[in-house]
Structure 1
Amino acid sequence: MAHIYRAFYAPMLRMNAPSGMPTKVPFLFNNILKRILKDYRPEYLGIVFDPSGPTFRDKLFEKYKSQRQPMPDEMRVQLPYVKKLCQAMRMPILEMAGFEADDVIGTLAKKAAESDLEVLVVSNDKDMMQLVGKNVRTLRTGTGGAKADVIVDEKRVEEILGVPPGRVIDVMALMGDTVDNIPGAKGIGEKGATELIQRYGTAENALAHADEVPNKRYREALQQQREQVLLSKQLATISTDVPIEMNLAALEMRTPDIATLADLYRELGFNSLLRELGSEAFAAQAVETEAAGKRDYAEFAHVEEFSEWLKKVPAKKTLAIWLVLDMNGRDSEGYGT
């Protein structure tokens, strides 16, 4: 879900489908996904979504994520099309009731690593670094292609956070997370949390030695917020024992369903992406048109597609043509028609 939010808030002009529906999220998500597949060529892949409804963390802490604003309506209407894109590209969608996407990712990453598979978790979130270890790394995507990406291994985790992967949850327990409303210890930020864990090793040990902490603000925070820190560690810990099987056959990379993908691109007005599909998309449209039987019209995204269809029409047959013109000619930049 993080990449969907990232696409929604990307600094880019509004995009609309011919129907008027906003389409920036599926467009950018599609491009991110295509770029990752091109640059890293995975053998197996899963797209993990958060489920609807509460998770076990909501039972632990009723205010968990309570400060997070509801998903904007404009984003909500685009979410089904992100899933439709994944389905058309024949990529498995994973979600598990009662567990966040992070927990599903954590569980599958652990199982894959134990099966001696190399795992790359695509996430820019700091808390995902707790999963890094033997056979598991995270990929923090940047703008501008693979050159801006950062692959995070155990050494890189220490460079970024100052602690090894196994201590990431201890840092999170002390500093908290305002996005997810994990309270942490008020008065201790990332710098202080890192210093305390570097010195004491774990959040529990820092609490046990609270009276010895020289910094008054840190000392009082630990002394007065013990239960809050312990709760925060529970909330920050990604579960790696979600009851989900790792079905490698279901996670294998597959070729896209070109006909379905082309139809979706037409519906969303993604003309530049439609052209990238090449002649296969045109052929699929021609087959669909022939199979339609009772339907005596067809829709085309651009002149090459129309030309292919026109070759199949009898020479003396009367045609009516309706043109929807792109007034600015900038669809390749993400502008709608």
Structure 2
Amino acid sequence: MNRSVKRKYSINVLDTLQLIFAGKISRSDLNKFIEFSCQIAHQYVLTERDKLVYRLRDSSIDTFDIAVRAISPIFLVNKQGEFSSLKKSFYNWLPKIEGENDAHFFLNKIIQKKTKQLIGDLYKESNPFFNKTLDSVYYYIALCKLKKLTIRGQIYITKTRFDRTKCSLISRDEFQSIPLSCFIDDKMMFEKLFKQLKKKNYSPAIPLYQLAWRLVEIKSELFEQPVSEEANFLSKQVVDEILDLGLRNTLVKLEESYLKKKKISLKEFQVYSSALKDITDDLKFSGTKRMLYEYLKPYFKNLTVSKFNERYRNTFEYLDKSYRKEIAKLYKI
């Protein structure tokens, strides 16, 4: 899909869907409908952009690419060339779709669902330690009876609600400069952070995702459940060993399940191996990951997103998930 396309189409969704299901739609009209659907997905991704930047730690996120990837499963065709998944969703939809408003609602909902699923997958891919830490932060927010408040597109932890139009929020650099001592006692951490905010004349709002990343960065296990009396730190050396062992186990699985069974070529085995090593390096040195497509792109000349989705995505996603499972398993030992 051409990312330079800025046209906005006026689409009769119900008529278009019926033409698609009847196999009577022209290629031109189908492309317009797909672009129209992509625009819907893109608008949703844009509303999530700030959250994506914080959680993926990547200010250069390609929102258009995410939108394209999100709607791709909707328009998959079977061997007969039918849009079977879309058709099944349409005719199983309740209440029954009878008019244009119903059809618009249906299309928006399935696009929103697919976009949410993809964004959720991106979060899970980004860093296994981050997701584990974030879950624990949520636990302690509930335990301490704190609130989550969205301010200017970001989620903050607060004691009470306040006037968001007049607040003074701590900057990223200022938050990073807060002393490590404020983070090493889970029972007092929030109180210490609120005191730091007050001391610096900022509103009592702790940036949720930045807090989680800060905890990941210091390799802390202090948010583990159950909570121990003393804070235990997971050293960088131990984390690196976990990542390396998880990588080795995944490469063995790649060789045994794919190469030896001739499901992939030797070149593909080498590319997947190199890409998994690149993921490991990113987790070691930056604490985050890029999109999976970006890991294969350097090894396949002229690799496009559509070709990645068609030929390599399923295998590489499986390998990536296997790698994360290995890390999680070793992390619990």
TM-score normalized with structure 1 length: 0.23
TM-score normalized with structure 2 length: 0.23
